[in-house]
């Protein structure tokens, strides 16, 4: 499949995914995963109403044990850190659900949510995220509305293309500002710019950034080298006020990326898809291959 088709299969991925069964109640839901797979837990942590622990390293925290569930996510099923965490969880007697297309992970764990193979991990987000959200917040997840929201993004190609051209012609570093429950989406945009478009990018979120980023924003430090983007509108009016006051006191202008769907899960997918398509357009403008992450593969190979 052409990589553009992979990225644009997100709505179809959402439609074809299903929830999984939970065997019992758990104290914590622990997510393990890296990169394009790790972002699933980060996003889910802002939507689940159960205590969540995120692990993007080799080890489980000491306090995690039999009362907790590990959801181990690796698209390839071979990511070293995720395998290590899964091994630790099994040794501690924990229940584990693996979300993967295969690899070592699929043979370590009894309960596997198998996702279709052959895609880039970051282009398979719909297959990995949808089962998690449907399992934990099923009633809030209205698939038809979510897909409709993503279709509306496909209709904004001109706006997306214009933004991509501006970033590339100005050699600008995208700075993406989010807020709850879309902090992880801002991070997803950063990682999509990195991997798809092969450019540096930075993300932060309100209100936290008012206690750090605001200082260089006020100064003149290489401001012209960045493209400031902010999701819009925030759910909390206090955040809306912060965004506006931050622009006023620092003399900055953040371009609004509007998510207009009625429900927050639809807005979530709207923003994810917008960022995916934008990073793809930046890659095309730069004439780089958005699929190629051979340096990550080389690094993984050298660590074996
Ligand atoms: O999107 C990518 O290619 C990477 O960010 C991978 O997701 C990351 O290296 C982890 O690999 P995997 O998703 O196979 O566990």
Give 105-119 pLDDT, tens digit per residue.
999 999 999 999 999
Six-digit token pair at 88? 């630790």
**Predicted confidence (pLDDT) at residue 221 exceeds the cutoff of 80:** no
Domain 3-139 fold: Rossmann fold (3.40.50)
**pLDDT mean over 120-133:** 98
pLDDT at 32 over 80: yes
75 close to ligand 1 (CB < 6 Angstrom): yes
Q: What is the per-residue pLDDT for 178?
A: 98
How confident is residue 242, by pLDDT bands cut at 50, 70 and 90? Answer: very high
pLDDT beyond 90 at 139: no
Q: Rounded to the nearest 5 degrees, what angle is found at the Cα of 31, between the Cα atoms of 279 and 121? A: 35
> What is the Cβ-side half-sphere exposure of residue 154, based on CA atoms within 13 angstroms?
13
**Ligand 1, pocket-test mutation among 84, 296, 303, most atoms within 8 A of CB:** 296
Give the pLDDT confidence score for residue 304 in this predicted structure: 84
b or e along 74-108 (b: 16 or more beta carbons within 10 Å of the residue's beta carbon)?
Answer: bbbbbbebbbbbbbbbbeeebbbbbbbbbbbbbeb
Task: Give the contacts of 159 (CB within 8 A, at least 6 positions apart).
Answer: none
- In whole angstroms, give the CA distance from residue 291 to residue 3: 6
CB 186 within 8 A of CB 205: yes
pLDDT tens track for 162-177: 999 999 999 999 999 9
Predicted confidence (pLDDT) at residue 294 exceeds the cutoff of 90: yes
Distance from residue 28's CA to the centre of ligand 1 (Å): 24
CA of 67 relative to ligand 1 center, distance in Å:
28
74 lines ligand 1 (CB under 6 A): yes
Task: Measure the CA–CA gap between 79 and 165, rounded to whole angstroms.
Answer: 35
Sequence-distant (6+) residues with CB within 8 A of 96 are 69, 70, 71, 72, 86, 89, 90, 109, 110, 111
Any ligand 1 atom below 6 A from CB of 37: yes
Residue 140, Cβ neighbours under 10 Å: how many? Answer: 14
Q: Based on the residue annotation, tell me whether 23 is a catalytic residue of this protein.
A: no
**Domain boundaries along the sequence of the chain:** 3-139, 143-286
Mean pLDDT of the chain: 97
Ligand 1 atom nearest to 300, measured from its CA:
9
Task: Exactly one of 218, 223, 284, 300 is catalytic; name it.
Answer: 300
Q: What is the pTM of this model?
A: 0.97
The predicted complex's ipTM stands at 0.99
Give yes or no for residue 3 having a pLDDT over 80.
yes
Question: Which of ligand 1's atoms lies nearest the C-alpha of 120?
Answer: 3
With a 6 Å cutoff on the Cβ, whether 119 touches ligand 1 is no
Mean predicted confidence (pLDDT) in 201-205 = 98
Ligand 1 contact via 215 beta carbon (within 6 Å): no
Q: Which residues have CB under 8 Å from 209's CB, separation 6+? A: 177, 246
Please say if 227 is a catalytic residue: no
pLDDT surpasses 90 at 222: no
Per the rule left: phi > 0, alpha: psi between -120 and 50, beta: everything else, 224 is alpha
Instruction: Decide: 101 in ligand 1 pocket, CB within 6 A.
Output: no
CA nearest ligand 1 atom 7, residue = 36
Mean pLDDT of 129-158: 95
Q: How confident is the model at residue 223 (pLDDT cuts 50, 70, 90)?
A: confident
- Matching fold, domains 3-139 and 143-286: yes
- Say which residue the tokens 């007697």 belong to: 93
Task: Give the residue among 168, 159, 172, 112 at the shortest CA–CA distance from 282.
Answer: 168
CATH superfamily to which 143-286 belongs: Glucose-6-phosphate isomerase like protein; domain 1 (3.40.50.10490)
Q: What is the dihedral of CA 298, 300, 303, 304, to 10 degrees?
A: -110
Catalytic site includes residue 300: yes
């Amino acid at each position: 499949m052409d990589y553009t088709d992979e990225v644009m299969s997100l709505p179809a991925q959402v439609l074809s995914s299903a929830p999984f069964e939970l065997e019992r109640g758990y104290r914590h839901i622990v997510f393990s995963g890296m990169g394009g797979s790790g972002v699933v837990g980060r996003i889910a942590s802002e939507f689940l109403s159960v205590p969540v622990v995120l692990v993007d390293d080799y080890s489980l925290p000491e306090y995690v044990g039999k009362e907790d569930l590990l959801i181990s996510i690796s698209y390839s099923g071979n990511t070293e850190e995720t395998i290590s965490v899964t091994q630790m969880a099994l040794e501690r007697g924990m229940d584990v659900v693996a979300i993967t297309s295969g690899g070592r992970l699929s043979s370590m764990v009894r309960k596997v949510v198998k996702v279709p193979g052959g895609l880039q991990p970051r282009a398979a987000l719909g297959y990995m995220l949808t089962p998690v959200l449907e399992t934990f917040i099923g009633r809030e997840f209205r698939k038809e509305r979510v897909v409709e929201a993503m279709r509306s993004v496909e209709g904004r190609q001109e706006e997306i293309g214009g933004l991509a051209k501006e970033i590339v012609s100005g050699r600008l570093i995208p700075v993406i500002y989010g807020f709850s429950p879309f902090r992880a989406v801002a991070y997803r945009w950063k990682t999509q710019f990195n991997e798809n478009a092969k450019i540096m990018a930075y993300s932060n979120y309100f209100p936290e950034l008012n206690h750090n980023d605001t200082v260089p924003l006020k100064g003149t430090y290489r401001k012209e080298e960045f493209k400031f983007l902010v999701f819009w509108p925030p759910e909390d009016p206090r955040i809306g006020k912060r965004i506006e006051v931050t622009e006023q006191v620092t003399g900055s202008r953040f371009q609004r990326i509007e998510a207009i769907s009625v429900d927050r899960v639809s807005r979530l997918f709207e923003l994810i898809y917008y960022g995916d398509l934008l990073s793809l357009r930046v890659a095309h403008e730069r004439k780089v291959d958005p699929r190629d992450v051979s340096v990550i593969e080389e690094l993984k190979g050298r660590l074996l």
